[in-house]
Amino acid sequence: MPEHLLSRVEQCYQAAETFFKQPFARAEVCFKLRGQKAGVAHLTENKLRFNPQLYRENREDFLKQTVPHEVAHLIAHQLFGLKIQPHGAEWQLIMRGVYELPPNRCHSYTVQRRTVSRYIYRCSCPQGEFPFSAQRHSLVSKGRRYYCRRCKVTLSFTGEQRLE
């Protein structure tokens, strides 16, 4: 796990402790997050998950903005409880007051979409083409049936596969 990120998490906790003059329970930190999210705070588990790919590609901004963003969620939860809005006034107070950062809800990192296989199914309609995910295609091979809503015919696999 990148030491810079762990160090930044600790800095954020220390800044909050200085600001609020009270200790906060440290979160478990892991790097098991994929997809579009840069980070996630699991409030009741006191856990932070970060996206290693987005961290590698956006290191400076990630450390400056994303890490405090997620730590602020846990600090807000410890101070105010579960009934607050995720990006509400309490969270914004921490972002502005403690970290002196704009309370941006979302990152603007470029996210690489992975290519996925689509299995092409057809019915008897003129434009009756249905691209199935690998998961749905697997269910068909185990006996599940899908029907066209227009012509009510069982969809059948064409043998064609596409990458999207």
Q: What is the CATH number of the domain that holds 19?
A: 3.30.2010.10
**Same domain flag for 13 and 93:** yes
CA-CA distance, 66 to 69, in Å (whole number)? 5
Claim to verify: residue 15 and residue 57 sit in the same structural domain: yes
Q: What is the 3-state composition of the chain as percent helix, strand, coil, each rounded to the nearest 5? A: 40, 20, 40
Q: For the ranges 11-20, 47-56, 80-89, 103-112, which has the lowest average pLDDT?
A: 103-112
84 shares its domain with 134 = no
Tell whether 9 and 75 lie within a shared domain. yes
Clarify whether residues 123 and 83 are in a common domain: no
- Asked if residue 106 is part of any domain, the answer here is no
User: Any idea what DSSP says for residue 119?
Assistant: E
Of 45, 70, 99, the domain-final residue:
99
Considering the domain architecture, whether residues 69 and 130 belong to the same structural domain is answered as no
pTM: 0.72
CA distance 74 to 27: 8
Does the active-site annotation cover 3? no
- Residue 111, domain member (yes or no): no
Q: What is the pLDDT of residues 105-115, one digit of tens each?
A: 888 787 877 77
Q: What is the mean pLDDT of the chain?
A: 93
Tell whether 38 is covered by a domain. yes
Domain interval for residue 146: 117-163
Pair 37, 82 in one domain: yes
| CA–CA gap between residue 84 and residue 125 (Å, rounded) | 50
Q: Tell me, yes or no, whether 91 and 122 share the same domain.
A: no
Whether residue 104 lies inside any domain: the answer is no
- pLDDT score at 146: 96
Model confidence pLDDT, tens digit, residues 87-146: 999 999 999 999 999 999 888 787 877 778 999 999 999 888 999 999 999 999 999 999
Question: Choosing from 70, 100, 129, 160, which is the catalytic residue?
Answer: 70
Is the confidence at residue 1, as pLDDT, over 60?
A: no
